[in-house]
Amino acid sequence: MQWRRRHCCTHAVKLFYLLSFLGVLVFLVHQVWLPRSTGMPRWKGHPVVYGGLHITRAKWNTSGHRSAWRFVIIPRPTSLADNNVTSPENVGALYQQTGLSFEDPLAANTSITEQEGFGGTINHGPFPYIINEPNKCAKNRATPFLVLLIATEARQVEARNAIRLTWGNESVVSALGIIRIFLLGKKDGELGLLQQKMLQTESRRHHDIIQQDFLDSYKNLTIKTLMGMNWVAMHCPQVSYVMKTDSDVFVNTEYLIHKLLHPELKPKKNYFTGNNMRGFAPNRNKKSKWYMPPEHYPGDKYPTFCSGTGYVFSGDLARKIYRASLTVRHLHLEDVYVGICLAKLGIEPTPPPNEFLFNHWRVSYSSCKYSHLITSHGFHPNELLKYWHHLQGNKSNACINAFKKRAGRLHSNRMNGETMNADSQ
């Protein structure tokens, strides 16, 4: 009788082990190997805007603690006495001084590509360069494949050094030309002067910094991004692809290049992709940090845009987006603004092959998951170094190791279960 009971328990444990094994396989298929997922998009809680594919009217806009997107920070207003204060009116005045037009976004239905060509010359814009690297692309023997535009601030020295040693290393894919460019404005006051001296020294050492004479703040991130696009258009126009990202983002450069951009194929044109934000409405809550006044953007829905934490576009779009920006009212939400410029061009961002590739949130680290994504946001420089080097040492068998660990835990649980059953008998 005891043998029959023990035999039955053994079969039950084996069945449980088999079902657990199948469960692990299902988990790996859906979470580790990252197939195209369905259901509600992961960017549902983006706080710059409200709603989603099913909500487009401003009257549905509400605020709450869960909607606070910690990755977009609007600083306190700067003094109006500062010439670099960048309100839409001030930016408009600057562009009007250069003889360029300035109008409300999406005022006309006809795209710019139908109105004019893009072969004309452009200048560096309304702000002069403090630091520039005009010959960085020309120094390369071959046409660069990828330019990395990384938004940063002068004080973020550790972050820049970590990026230089990890995903922003220009030799990370030695067979292809990769150009790394850090984008900066300036800081005022005595601290700003000290930081500027250190930045000049850093620039002479690494030759990967460009800086213009505008106040460096989150509110001016749109100007900073346009500076990068202008630099590509003027000094690296033949590059195949460009990625704009931030200094606290982990980027799997190799996966980006080989799995998304495919250097063996002919470069795409009018291509723009990232974490797609589609069908979102402007935030009309005046108490919100991300409030968008109707007079600045009168529409009830933004065009599709991609999270500013990381998006990729074909090299030809750098000039086109910058030229489009000359006729589009400047907004402080950089990713939204670039989406508006794309809409002005009549270009819709391409959804990535998998929505898990570009993340404007932080993804919990495992070498298996990180070997199959492109961006993860919210990293300290020490974490970038730690996880990058761990990934490089485990990328060839990252998911196999993850599966072995899970299988080992299941086996240990099974053995413990059998021991407990035997003891109970």
The mean pLDDT value for 93-120 works out to 43
- Of residues 393 and 422, the one with the higher pLDDT is 393
The pLDDT tens digits of the residues spanning 374-388 come to 999 999 999 999 999
Phi-psi region of 106 (alpha: psi -120 to 50; beta: other; left: phi over 0): left
Two structure tokens written together for 302: 């933004």
Instruction: Say how far apart CA 73 and CA 331 lie, in whole Å.
Output: 14
Two structure tokens written together for 6: 């023990």
The whole-number pLDDT of residue 9 equals 59
The mean pLDDT value for 349-364 works out to 94
Two structure tokens written together for 307: 């999270």
- Of residues 310 and 360, the one with the higher pLDDT is 310
The whole-number pLDDT of residue 175 equals 81
CATH entry 3.90.550 includes domain 42-355: yes
Residue 403 CB partners (closer than 8 Å, separation 6+): 24, 28
Whether 339 has a pLDDT exceeding 80, the answer reads yes
Instruction: Say how far apart CA 16 and CA 413 lie, in whole Å.
Output: 11
Least confident of 43-57, 139-153, 227-241: 43-57
Torsion angle of the four alpha carbons 314, 161, 384, 43, in this order, in degrees rounded to the nearest 10? -40
The pLDDT tens digits of the residues spanning 18-69 come to 666 666 555 554 444 443 333 334 444 455 554 443 333 333 333 333 333 3
Residue 216 CB partners (closer than 8 Å, separation 6+): 153, 154, 184, 185, 186, 187, 224
Least confident of 140-154, 226-240, 306-320, 343-357: 140-154
In this structure, how many other beta carbons lie within 10 angstroms of the beta carbon of residue 111? 14
Query: How would residue 400 be classed by pLDDT, with cut points 50, 70 and 90?
Result: confident
Whether 242 has a pLDDT exceeding 60, the answer reads yes
The whole-number pLDDT of residue 425 equals 53
User: Where do the structural domains in the chain lie, given as residue ranges?
Assistant: 2-32+400-424, 42-355
The whole-number pLDDT of residue 288 equals 81
Q: Are 221 and 334 in contact (CB under 8 A)?
A: yes
E strands, 171-230, in order = 178-186, 209-215
Two structure tokens written together for 97: 């001084």
Whether 13 has a pLDDT exceeding 80, the answer reads no
Instruction: Say how far apart CA 42 and CA 46 lie, in whole Å.
Output: 9
Instruction: Say how far apart CA 152 and CA 161 lie, in whole Å.
Output: 12
Two structure tokens written together for 92: 């408009």
In this structure, how many other beta carbons lie within 10 angstroms of the beta carbon of residue 406? 18
- Of residues 5 and 99, the one with the higher pLDDT is 5
- Of residues 372 and 95, the one with the higher pLDDT is 372
Torsion angle of the four alpha carbons 78, 83, 87, 91, in this order, in degrees rounded to the nearest 10? -160
The whole-number pLDDT of residue 291 equals 81
The whole-number pLDDT of residue 43 equals 43
Q: Are 280 and 51 in contact (CB under 8 A)?
A: yes
The whole-number pLDDT of residue 84 equals 42
Whether 343 has a pLDDT exceeding 90, the answer reads yes
The whole-number pLDDT of residue 44 equals 43
Looking at every residue in the chain, the average pLDDT score rounds to: 78
Q: How many CA atoms lie within 13 A of 392 on its CB side?
A: 13
The mean pLDDT value for 1-10 works out to 54
Phi, psi of 215 (to 5 degrees): -65, 125
